Structure 1
Amino acid sequence: MAHGDVVPSSAAGLVNWNPQVGPSGSIDHPLATTQLELLDDVMREAERFTGLRFSVYLGDLGSNTAASAESLLDSLGGDAPYAVLLAVSPGQRVVEVVTGPEAARRVSDRAARLAVLGVVSACTDGDIGGALVTGVRILADQAGTLPERSTW
């Protein structure tokens, strides 16, 4: 996967994805504090073991979801080449995975599709927080551990 490559849910054969209507929280706070804390912990561990930067976006991606996801990745500045972005728009029924060029060496198209499947499965059950955690865990697992960190 090259910088800016996007794996939309339709590419994974998920055109008929029909999650429950939005997360259980309010519009301003779709995830509970405990869900946010768990997601933060999972992202921190993923970054620690893989050496990549993980970022998650939950919300509307606009009419061009791929371009929006790429723009979000680019907004990470100097971290963008080593970043993996998981963007989920439940209202649009879209999941995008975008990687920077260095991260793309370790996160394959297959890994991105696997993460999309995991996210969609959890979203179908109405668990948006769990979907984000699952997506990050799958992407980190597929990226693998940096060799110098494998003895931890």
Structure 2
Amino acid sequence: MASSKWPAVVEADLPHGYALTSSGRVSGVHEAGDVFKEAPFSDEERLAMDNALTEATRATKVRFNIYVGDLGADTAAGADALFATTPEAARSVLIAVSPNEKAIEVRSGHDVADRANDRVCQLGVTAALSSIRQGELIDGLISAVRVMAAAIGR
């Protein structure tokens, strides 16, 4: 019988905005301030995004990160500053969306820059645009992650 110092998680007891993933990991959203009365994405959308990120990371050994929020007036500089704070930045990819500026910025770390190059990043953005233009942000981001992961390979 397996045991752990961590108690079993009961999905029904999780706060709003959190979901138990198929791998047993808890995925949650942190809402800054009282901007939204409820989480901007459904549990299903967050779970689908988490699954896409997990699958892409496992398949490529590149850590994928998603950011949706304000990057400032200079979205490129905002993405550069944000990327430096992401976990394992050297071996990761950041897809950052600044909805108010209608901008998508992609950054890749120096350890994976040969695999997650400009062409791969552009493929990801192109894959996302159609869904995002139709108002399906999560679907667009999932498409971007999947296309980039397929292009990166192992």
Same fold? TM cut 0.5: yes
Q: Letter of the aligned partner of 1:56 in structure 2? A: I
Match of 2:143 among 98, 121, 134: 134
| Secondary structure of 1:29's aligned partner | coil
Once superposed, which parts of structure 1, at least 4 consecutive aligned residues long, lie more than 6 Å away?
none
**1:4-25 Cα shifts (integer Å, max 9, x gaps):** xxxxxxxxxxxxxxxxxxxxxx
Q: Quote the residue 1:117 is aligned against.
A: 126
- Structure 1: any 5+ residue segments left out of the alignment? 1-25, 146-152
**1:102-130 Cα shifts (integer Å, max 9, x gaps):** 12110121111111111111111110110
Change (3 A) 1:27 1:110: farther
Equivalences, count: 119
**1:76-119 Cα shifts (integer Å, max 9, x gaps):** 25x11001000112221100010010121101211111111111
Q: Which has the larger radius of gyration?
A: 2
| Secondary structure of 1:119's aligned partner | helix
- The TM-score with structure 2 as length reference comes to 0.72
- The TM-score with structure 1 as length reference comes to 0.73
In the aligned structure 1, how far is the partner of 2:59 from the partner of 2:124?
A: 18
1:70-109 superposed matches below 5 A: 70-77=80-87, 79-109=88-118
Q: CA deviation at 1:62?
A: 0.5
Match of 2:57 among 26, 42, 47: 47
Q: Quote the residue 2:25 is aligned against.
A: none
Q: CA deviation at 1:27?
A: 7.3
- Structure 2: any 5+ residue segments left out of the alignment? 1-35
Change (3 A) 1:61 1:40: same
Contact 2:73 2:101 (C-alpha < 8 Å) held by counterparts: no
Which structure has more RCO (C-alpha within 8 Å, separation ≥ 6)? 1
Contact 1:42 1:133 (C-alpha < 8 Å) held by counterparts: yes
Change (3 A) 1:27 1:67: farther
Contact 1:73 1:83 (C-alpha < 8 Å) held by counterparts: no
In the aligned structure 1, how far is the partner of 2:127 from the partner of 2:40?
A: 19
